[in-house]
């Protein structure tokens, strides 16, 4: 019986006595290969995430710039080319109790044509047919933003406060305006981080002429 039992174990489990485990070197090699594969996957994942974040940031900046320029063009499109004689620029602002921006022109004679860009106060001034004044003010209270003083709407009074239009602009050249052939050229510039975490500029420009 003992002989039969021993024979039976050898017959059903013949390989077990010859099996052996992995050596330490084999395990270290396998571990190293696994770490290399995991590191490669992690690198690809991180790179893809960074690229996606940069693209998302740039798209968001361009979307903000597009909306801001659209609103600015809608306002400037209503501008007259010459200030109203019956309601000069400063008279309209004073009558509404508007807090004049620092460095803003102190005389109506400065506004020879509209829209008017004043580099000292970083303001773009325009006036509609009713004589109401609108101002786009870059760096009104924050260096990276444009604020908008809207003209009075018909039948509405008390519009005297600047409201934020767009933020996250370049703090030095976020808004650049210059006269062109009786009109105005405006460039807005925003900043985002690229894959190397460096500041990259996104810009959008438009040209606008007064209605008359």
Domain that holds residue 148: 50-208
pLDDT of residue 89: 95
The SS3 assignment for 94 reads helix
The per-residue pLDDT for range 20-33, each reduced to its tens digit, is 666 878 788 878 88
Q: How far is CA 43 from the centre of its chain?
A: 28
Q: Work out how many domains the chain is built from and give that number.
A: 1
Domain assignment present for 43: no
Query: Which residues of the chain, if any, have pLDDT below 50?
Result: 2-7, 12
Domain assignment present for 71: yes
Domain assignment present for 24: no
pLDDT of residue 71: 94
Domain assignment present for 5: no
Whole-prediction pTM: 0.74
């Amino acid at each position: 019986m003992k002989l039969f039992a021993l024979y039976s174990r050898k017959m059903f489990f013949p390989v077990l006595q010859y099996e052996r485990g992995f050596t330490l070197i084999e395990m270290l090699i396998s571990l190293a290969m696994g770490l290399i594969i995991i590191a490669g996957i992690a690198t690809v994942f991180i790179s893809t995430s960074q690229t996606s974040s940069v693209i998302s940031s740039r798209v968001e900046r361009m979307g903000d710039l597009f909306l801001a320029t659209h609103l600015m063009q809608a306002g400037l499109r209503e501008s007259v080319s010459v200030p109203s004689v019956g309601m000069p620029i400063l008279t309209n602002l004073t009558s509404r109790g508007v807090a004049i921006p620092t460095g803003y022109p102190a005389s109506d004679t400065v506004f020879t044509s509209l829209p008017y860009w004043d580099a000292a106060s970083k303001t773009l001034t325009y006036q509609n047919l009713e004589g109401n004044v609108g101002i786009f003010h870059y760096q009104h209270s924050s260096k990276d933003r444009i604020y908008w003083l809207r003209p009075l709407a018909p039948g509405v009074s008390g519009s005297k406060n600047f409201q934020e239009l767009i933020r996250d602009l370049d703090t030095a050249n976020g808004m650049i305006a210059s006269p062109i052939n009786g009109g105005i050229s405006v460039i807005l510039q925003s900043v985002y981080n690229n894959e190397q975490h460096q500041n990259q500029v996104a810009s959008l420009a438009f040209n606008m002429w007064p209605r008359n």
